[in-house]
Amino acid sequence: MFNKEEAQKIKREFWITFAHEYPRKWLLYNTRIKDFSFKFHVDNNKAMVSLDIEPKDEEHRKIYFEKIESLKDILTEEYIYDVIFERNYQLDNGKIISRIWVEIENISINNKSTWHKVFEFFDKNMTFLEQFFYEYGDYIKDLEINT
């Protein structure tokens, strides 16, 4: 086990190494939709690439999620076949968001031998999610067009 300081150092080294090996500008928060973002996550059990939909306005969250859900066949057939959709995903802090994500298990941020696998997973899946968003973003953004 690592103490808190050692764990923070490893986490920082992980993200610096990822940025060095995959030096590109990710879309992440630059979606031009408030509280609609792409995220990377890694811990001691799994790694995840997600699209988090978390507007304070519940109706907006519902519409954005349903729009993406209406494109589910396209997303799963052309981009990421094993993507998971959850309309009401509860974060550790209790907040309810909508999340679309893909993950791999049996990795650990503390195990450097799994880092390359995580980096490849991040790159491949975030690229697919971004491509999907670039293709269908205008439809997703327009709250006047319902599903």
* Pure H helices in 53-145: 58-70, 72-74, 115-141
Domain contains 146? no
**What is the DSSP-derived secondary structure letter of residue 91?**
P
Distance CA 3, CA 8 (A): 9
Distance CA 44, CA 109 (A): 5
Domain contains 147? no
pTM: 0.92
Give pLDDT, residue 145.
66
Distance CA 125, CA 9 (A): 26
Give me the number of domains the chain comprises: 1
Which residue range is the domain that position 53 belongs to?
A: 4-141
Give pLDDT, residue 8.
93
Domain contains 49? yes
CB 75 within 8 A of CB 67: no
Domain contains 89? yes
In this prediction, what percent of the chain has a pLDDT beyond 70? Answer: 97
CB 129 within 8 A of CB 140: no
Give pLDDT, residue 4.
87
pLDDT band at 144 (very low <50, low <70, confident <90, very high): confident
Structure confidence by residue, pLDDT tens digits, 64-92: 999 999 999 999 999 999 999 999 999 99
Structure confidence by residue, pLDDT tens digits, 40-66: 999 999 999 999 999 989 999 999 999
